[in-house]
Amino acid sequence: MSDRPSPDEGLSPAELAAKYGLAVSGARPGLGEYIAQLWGRRHFILAFSQAKLTAQYSQAKLGQLWQVATPLLNALVYFLIFGLILKADRGMGREVYIPFLVTGVFVFTFTQSSVMAGVRAVSGNLGLVRALHFPRASLPISFSLQQLQQLLFSMIVLFTVAVAFGSYPRLSWLLILPILALQFLFNTGLAMIMARMGSKTPDLAQLMPFVMRTWMYASGVMFSIPVMLAEHPEWIGDVLQWNPAAIYMDLMRFALIDGYGSENLPPHVWAVAGGWAALVALGGFVYFWKAEERYGRG
């Protein structure tokens, strides 16, 4: 097409771009604009998470019934092993221990599956990342949202278990909402951190199950940390109790179970719960955004 004279002859590509107001393709937007873009995609984020959730069981004959049946079976297995065979209750009494155990399992699973989904959020969706434009943070957020919806199904089981063991609905059950909100923020932040790390090093998907299992056993999912570590130096128990997974679990138990009073909670528990959520959510978001233009490189 060089047969036509052009007034732009002799301009370098960069100068030409500047003259007509062209922008660099695929450049990272500023943080404010990024948040605005993300907000604009909120319907996609929600629809994507719901689609993933539905697709999960769409081939099964019982279909969406598995949303409830899976956590129920999970709780049953833990009860069988830790409640009946190992008797890890340590004098807690069955009517406290069973809901204690089930709450622990569900609350921890929420964080665990958010982390695992986060690791693969970008690396497992390269096709999507390379085909369409959207703020990439949509992916980890959407996956965390999927886990939140999954947890809401588990809550049906959890309420049933609580009632079956004599903890009836009372005012403190309302605390579940802020607890879930804080944990969701924490999980999303963590998922974004894992998503960036996993996009660079997909090997994390192999490694994380072991990290998560260690974390689970260290967070007192099936035992009470202060009781279990009574003979050890106090600081070990303190450290374990202040870890975010233990904090959210303990808060949820406190809200839900009749015989699990505030004496089981570490001091300043709400401040710690909020602090973890704010720190990880904000930190994770900025950390993820910093690499926005690099996701999708093969």
Is residue 108 within 8 A of residue 249, CB to CB? The reply is yes
The reply on whether position 13 binds other proteins by CB under 8 A is yes
Q: Report the site for other proteins in 119-138 (rule: CB under 8 A).
A: 125, 127-134
Please give the angle made by the CA atoms of 298, 144 and 108, to the nearest 5 degrees: 115
The reply on whether position 22 binds other proteins by CB under 8 A is yes
Which span sits near other proteins by CB under 8 A: 37-45, 99-107, 153-161, 231-239? 37-45
Q: How far apart are CA 152 and CA 3, in angstroms?
A: 66
Q: How many CB atoms lie within 10 A of CB 172?
A: 13
Size of the site for other proteins (CB under 8 A): 44
Residue 167 neighbours by CB under 8 Å, 6+ apart: 95, 99, 256, 257, 258, 259
Selected from 9, 30, 59, 210, the binder of other proteins by CB under 8 A is: 59
The Cα-based distances of 106 to 55, 148, 156 in angstroms read: 21, 11, 11
Residue span 176-215 as binding mask against other proteins, x where in contact by CB under 8 A, dash where not = ----------------------------------------
Q: Cβ 1 to other proteins, closest distance in Å?
A: 6
Q: Cβ 30 to other proteins, closest distance in Å?
A: 16
Q: Which is nearer to other proteins, 22 or 76 (CB)?
A: 22
Q: How far apart are CA 195 and CA 115, in angstroms?
A: 9
Distance from the first to the final alpha carbon of the chain: 34
Instruction: Report the SS3 class of residue 163.
Output: helix
The reply on whether position 20 binds other proteins by CB under 8 A is yes
Q: How far apart are CA 182 and CA 293, in angstroms?
A: 29
Residue span 265-294 as binding mask against other proteins, x where in contact by CB under 8 A, dash where not = ----------------------------xx
The reply on whether position 48 binds other proteins by CB under 8 A is yes
The reply on whether position 30 binds other proteins by CB under 8 A is no
Is residue 108 within 8 A of residue 220, CB to CB? The reply is no
Selected from 8, 80, 217, 268, the binder of other proteins by CB under 8 A is: 8
Q: Cβ 290 to other proteins, closest distance in Å?
A: 14
Is residue 182 within 8 A of residue 272, CB to CB? The reply is no
Which residues are near other proteins by CB under 8 A? Answer: 1, 4-8, 13-14, 16-17, 20-27, 40-41, 43-44, 47-48, 51-52, 54-55, 58-59, 125, 127-134, 293-294, 296-298
